[in-house]
Amino acid sequence: MQHHKRPPASVLFIFGGSGDLNLRKLTPALFNLFLDEWMPEQFAIAGIGRSPYNDEDFRKHLLEGIQKFSRVRERRMVTTGSSLIT
């Protein structure tokens, strides 16, 4: 049962989206918030960076960070994680 109010629909822009801070800290933390139901029901995250990634490679890059650095990597991860990063 959820005992907190979720924020309204949101778009989050991450400048430096291809960088180490996003890989190691931001994306895993956002994933944890999603699993704990603290993220809005409707949200989008846009990563803006200098490294040349296509959409598929960028999603794989972020999923690797989630798998390696998320505090909840033990539960509901690999198949759920790849479908969350769209």
Domains of the chain, residue spans: 10-84
**pTM for the structure as a whole:** 0.75
Cα distances (Å, whole numbers) of residue 44 to 6, 51, 55, 82: 15, 20, 14, 15
pLDDT at 73: 56
CATH 3.40.50.970 given to domain 10-84: no
pLDDT in tens, 11-56: 999 999 999 999 999 999 999 998 888 999 899 999 999 989 898 9
Residue 61 near residue 26, CB atoms below 8 Å: no
User: Residue 81 corresponds to which tokens in the numbers above?
Assistant: 């994680």
What percentage of residues in the chain have a pLDDT greater than 70?
A: 80
Is 86 exposed, middle or buried (CB count within 10 Å of its CB: 0-12, 13-18, 19+)? exposed
